[in-house]
Amino acid sequence: MAKNSHGWLAGLLAVFLTATVSGCLPTWIGTKSLQHRAAAEGLTERFLETETHTTRFWVGGEGPPLLLLHGFGGTGLSTWAKQLPLAAHHTLVVPDLAWFGQSVSGRQPTLDAQVDLVLQLMETLSLDQVDVVGVSYGGFVALQLAQTAPSRVGKAVIVDSPGPFFGADRVEGLLVRAGADSLVELFVPEDAAGVDRLFAIALAEPPRIPRWLLSDLVGSFLAAHPEQQAALLHDLLSRSEVVDSASLVWPEDMLVVWGEADQVFPPGCGRELADAASAEFVLLEQAAHSPNIDTPGAFNRVVSQFLESH
């Protein structure tokens, strides 16, 4: 696997690579392989139906609850496939966020809707508090959860997600590097060419993927809720313009993990976040925007040591 992968594409890459390793390219076969892997680690697939949300999630393992929140464009299971062994010491809760995978919502597409989904899931599972790991967009959700219900968050690991340090200058730099006019154009691709551009910005050595498979990725993961996904990106942008980081409530015990080669949010974003939150900062070598996939061994060790400390 190429080392410089994009966290928001982690789900797509994981499914593609799993399918390739198994000798079968269609993405649904990769998805089935991931489901078997989850079952082997003791996780079961469940659905929660409420008045506002339909949420698919995976749950299983033994130990204190650990909520894993995926990035933009991925799903819970595909993004965190290489963290499933953590179920040996934690009860993993791995949802698809709203408008990704098989989760949907009747609410307006915002971070608040995602937090509401998480809180309803916690109520269903009778969880008063969870430790949480969020990568990229999932990190935004984790930090918003801490704002909305600080007592429900124990330890927090924020991975390659800048939180309030997501201003217009950083967005502009990303779009210039990607050759895109907007975040929506970049992260909600409509065709194979759009996915190809995502891989180009995400990977130092983009794999040569047939156009028919790129189209399959669009149809399988990115085409179901394009309007809602676009609204989620607009919500992030609007929040970045008004948030005062000094006024935020940070998790009391927080770790910031960053990939050394992240071209989406450079490591300086992570150091700024860690300084503002008085959090420990860990930079992982040979990793980019999704160190949970790029260097899973090192990532899992860092996260486990943090969660099991104190």
Residue for token pair 């997501």: 166
Q: What is the pLDDT of residues 48-82, one digit of tens each?
A: 999 999 999 999 999 999 999 999 888 899 889 99
Q: Which two tokens stand for residue 21?
A: 């390793």
At 36 the pLDDT is 86
In the numeric block, which tokens belong to residue 79? Answer: 């993004």
Tokens, residue 49:
């139906």
Residues 245-263, mean pLDDT to the nearest whole number = 89
Q: Classify 119 as helix, strand or coil.
A: helix
Rounded Cα–Cα distance for residues 242 and 137 (Å): 18
Q: Is the pLDDT of residue 244 over 50?
A: yes
Amino acid at 146: A
**Mind listing the pLDDT tens digit for each residue in 23-50?**
333 455 567 788 888 999 999 999 999 9
Q: What values do phi and psi take at 226, rounded to 5? A: -65, -35
d(CA 158, CA 259) in angstroms, rounded, equals: 12
Dihedral of CA atoms 146, 163, 110, 193 in degrees, nearest 10, equals -140
**Tens-place pLDDT, residues 155-177:** 999 999 999 888 888 899 889 98
What local confidence, expressed as pLDDT, does residue 123 receive?
A: 97
- Residue 126, pLDDT above cutoff 70: yes
Phi–psi pair at 270, nearest 5 degrees: -65, -40
pLDDT score recorded for residue 3: 40
Q: Give the homologous superfamily in CATH for domain 7-308.
A: Alpha/Beta hydrolase fold, catalytic domain (3.40.50.1820)
Domain boundaries, given as residue ranges, for the chain: 7-308
Instruction: Render pLDDT for 207-239 as a digit per residue (tens, 0 to 9).
Output: 677 776 666 666 655 567 999 999 999 999 888
Residues 285-302 as b/e (b if ≥16 CB within 10 A, e otherwise) read eebbbbbbbbbbebbeeb
Over the stretch 261-277, which tens digit does the pLDDT of each residue have?
888 889 999 999 999 99
- pLDDT of 20 above 60: no
What pLDDT, on a 0 to 100 scale, did the predictor assign at position 275? 94
Decide: 290 and 160 in contact? Cβ < 8 Å. Answer: yes
How far is C-alpha 282 from the chain's CA centre? 18
